[in-house]
Amino acid sequence: MKILVTTGMPGSGKEELLNRCIARGAKVIRMGDMVRDKAKEFGLDLSDASVGSLADEERKRYGMDVWAKRTIPFVGGDLVAIDGTRGPAEIKAFKNAFGDALVVVAIHSAPKTRFDRLKSRGRPDSPSSQSEFELRDRRELDWGLGDAIALADHMVINEGTLEELTKLVDSLLDDLLKKE
């Protein structure tokens, strides 16, 4: 079994990494989907503010690794990609559960690049202004996202085209999966 955990700021390109994993037969688990499902369970709207607030409150109430611990039972199969770890406590929970099978991959892009990508998405949680974007970044960094990125086993810089990112990710996946 190989388990890849993605980390990176919103809009950095994590979804494209996941797409390349899916192309190789990976099961994908999105931690954000778990938060959104919990928000629906509580009858909350799916705006970034509501979902982010719920994620924050659950971390305060149950610990910074709560979302990782809620994700672990869903992991199974030869290749699994877990999207969206937000801090070192989550990485530690995954390492405790999966040991050497775990590899953390960070995707990094500059803030301007990410803001432009997020605005063009048109999702309900997309920022409508620079200040909203900065507020979201600050919240994520307060959860320890910068530390999670710094603790990654591998870093992919995504400032180019989609084709360039695809080549970088495919090369990394080739290296990671042949080590089996």
Tens place of pLDDT per residue across the chain (180 aa): 899 999 999 999 999 999 999 999 999 999 999 999 999 999 998 888 888 899 999 999 999 999 999 999 999 999 999 998 999 999 999 999 999 999 999 999 999 999 999 988 877 778 889 999 999 999 899 999 999 999 999 999 999 999 999 999 999 999 999 855
Give the CATH number for residue 96: 3.40.50.300
DSSP character string of 63-118: -TTHHHHHHGGG--SSEEEEE---SHHHHHHHHHHHGGGEEEEEEE--HHHHHHHH
Provide the pLDDT for residue 179: 58
Asked if residue 117 belongs to a domain, the reply is yes
pLDDT at 48: 80
Instruction: Name residue 3's beta-bridge partners.
Output: 80, 102
pLDDT number for residue 180: 52
* Helices 48-62 and 31-41: angle between axes, nearest 10 degrees: 100
Q: Tell me whether residue 53 is in a domain.
A: yes
Give me the domain span that covers residue 83.
Answer: 2-167
Q: Judge whether 59 lies within some domain.
A: yes
Q: Is 173 inside a domain boundary?
A: no
Domain assignment of residue 130, yes or no: yes
178 within some domain: no
Residue 176 belongs to a domain = no
How many angstroms separate the CA atoms of 178 and 167, rounded? Answer: 16
Number of helices and strands in the chain (H, E): 9, 5
The domain tally of the chain equals 1
Flag whether 133 is in a domain: yes
CA–CA gap between residue 94 and residue 72 (Å, rounded): 7
CA distance 57 to 98: 26
What is the maximum span of the chain, computed from C-alpha positions, in angstroms?
45
